[in-house]
Structure 1
Amino acid sequence: MKYRSVFDIIGPAMIGPSSSHTAGAARIGRMARRLFGRIPHEVDIEFCGSFANTYQGHGTDVAITGGLMNFDTHDPRIKDALKIAEDIGLKIRISTVDPPGEHPNTAWITLQDRAGTMRVKGISVGGGKIAMLEADGFAMNLSGDAWTALVFHKDHFGMIASVASVLADQRINIAKMGMSRKAKGQDALLIIETDEAIADSLGSRIAGIADVGQVRILPPL
């Protein structure tokens, strides 16, 4: 993990005692909500390692719940996030697990509503920085620090070139690209981080490419 300034080490403006356990957790929750694409009705949160041991004392539980409701790291509502979730009918269930080999600040989050379910994995890496490592079985390494296009599609020749050409037409520079697939020729996820903002209209153009199922445009956290 590279830090660009002293503020990346100190951490962001935040509510709570720990950039890793509070600010990082809030950002994991916000990114999980963005990956899901809508307000969930029920959420199961599984904390691992250090998160599991200290989540109540460090406010990791309220921070990640606040993030799921799209509260920023400095939002004063975070301290009351569990009560606010209860008031709006968002069911939050928290448990701890101890699988071998996990990063010490790991959260597995399962988001549900009537339309479907998504399971995501996020880690807090220090200074408020995060990485989302999995969503719906697709491997990823998503920081939330840049404009990002998530393109769900069928895996076949030419897909990456077709998507990249849409961005190039608008002089949008690709900073990082990764692709994950369930199996050759089956469901795949293309993740593109860019230096410039991606308009929703570009997302619609990408969605019009043959065999693209869904496109989600995520602004920086």
Structure 2
Amino acid sequence: MRFKDVFSIMGPSMIGPSSSHTAGAARLGLAARQTLGGQPDEADVIFSGSFAETYMGHGTDLAAAAGLLGCAPDDVRIRDAIALAEAAGMELRFGTELRLGGHPNTVRFALRKGDRTASLIGCSIGGGNVEIVNVDGFDIKFLADCPTLLIDHRDMAGTLAAMTVIVGRAGLNIRAMEVDRQSRSGRALTVMEMDQAVSDEVMRELGALEQVDRVRLVDLNGEERA
């Protein structure tokens, strides 16, 4: 196995006990929060595989709740995250499910904030690293280790070209891109993993495209933006 850097071997700065079961879960909760666009009023957090078997003993529930509150994996508030979430008015529900195949450390979030909803399925893949495998029912994959645009749009000719023109004009480089759609000419989700930080202006320009319904940013190392 080849490691990218020393942190891939040592693990992240975190509140323990496990980089996979706590640090990774906190990052997944934070990614779900950013997918929703803020702190949820209600959150269903459903664990499967190894997460389902050990989540209480390893603090995975605390870590996921902390991520939904906007906490990083090394935030000491992780220890009291469930109580803090309840004090903040968040209704948390934890559960388990059997998922055939896929990574053993998997969690599914179903979130609501007012009339806005979001869902996310992600895996903790080791060393505090995560992989998102589904957003709002769309089968996409990204690692959430760089600024990542989630662009909800209609499946229309020229849409991807228009998006990439805006991104390129801003001097941004797309590291990876994935698209999934419900049907031909139906709803679609495009995911762009970027090499550079994404400005509010780029997000506004993308959101102003006729065929685009919403633009979100998952940036676990940057400032949170709705």
What is the match of residue 88 of structure 1? Answer: 88
Instruction: State how 1:5-24 maps to structure 2 within 5 Å.
Output: 5-24=5-24
Contact 2:35-2:217 within 8 A present in 1 as well: no
User: 2:27, 2:220 within 8 Å by CA — same for their partners in 1?
Assistant: no
AA of the residue aligned to 1:188: A
Runs of 5+ unmatched residues, structure 1: none
Give 1:10 shift.
2.4
- The alpha carbon displacement at 1:219 in A equals 2.5
* Structure 1 residue 55: Cα displacement: 0.6
Name the structure 2 match of 1:113. Answer: 113
Tell whether the 8 Å contact from 1:71 to 1:78 is kept in structure 2 after alignment: yes
Asked whether the 8 Å contact 2:31–2:220 carries over to 1, the reply is no
Q: What RMSD in Å do the two structures reach over aligned CA positions? A: 1.4
Q: Relative to 1, partners in 2 of residues 1:2 and 1:145: Cα closer, same or farther, differing over 3 Å? A: farther
Name the counterpart of 2:172.
172
Secondary structure of 1:205's partner?
A: helix
> 2: CA distance between counterparts of 1:2 and 1:138?
30
**Letter aligned with residue 44 of structure 2:** D
**Correspondence for 2:201:** 201
User: Residue type matched to 1:52 in 2?
Assistant: A
TM-score by length of 2: 0.94
Deviation at 1:187, TM superposition (A): 0.4
Contact 2:19-2:128 at 8 Å conserved across structures: yes
**Distance (whole Å) between structure 1 residues aligned to residue 127 and residue 193 of structure 2:** 21
Structure 1 length normalisation: TM-score?
Answer: 0.96
Question: 1:144 is matched by which residue type in structure 2?
Answer: A
Q: For the residues of structure 2 that align with 1:175 and 1:157, how far apart are their CA atoms?
A: 23
The CA deviation at 1:132 is 1.0
Structure 2 portions without partners, runs of 5+: 222-226
Cα deviation, 1:8-67, whole Å, max 9, x if unaligned, reads: 232210001100000000000000000111221111111101101111111101000000
Shift of 1:157: 1.2
1:102 CA drift (Å): 3.5
Distance 2:122 2:219 in 1: 18
Indicate if the aligned counterparts of 2:34 and 2:217 stay in contact, CA closer than 8 A: no
Taking the aligned partners of 1:218 and 1:94, their CA distance within structure 2 comes to: 23
Q: Please give the alpha-carbon distance, in whole angstroms, between the structure 1 residues aligned to 2:172 and 2:43.
A: 35
**What secondary structure sits across from 2:206 in the alignment?**
helix
Paired residues of 1:10 and 1:19 also in contact (CA < 8 A): no
Counterpart residue identity of residue 62, structure 2: V
Match of 1:158 in 2: 158
Q: Could you say which residue in structure 1 is the equivalent of 2:27?
A: 27
Verify: 1:65 aligned to 2:61, yes or no: no
- Post-superposition Cα deviations, 1:67-90, rounded to whole Å, max 9, x if no partner, equal 010100000000000110111111
Q: Supply the distance in 2 between the matched residues of 1:185 and 1:218 (Cα, whole angstroms).
A: 26
Out of 36-45 and 94-103, give the one that drifted further. Answer: 94-103
How far has the Cα of 1:2 moved from its partner?
A: 6.5
Amino acid at match of 1:179: V
- What number of residue pairs does the alignment pair up? 221
Secondary structure of the corresponding residue to residue 38 of structure 2: coil
Q: Give SS of 2:139's match.
A: strand
1:38 is aligned to 38
Identity %: 39
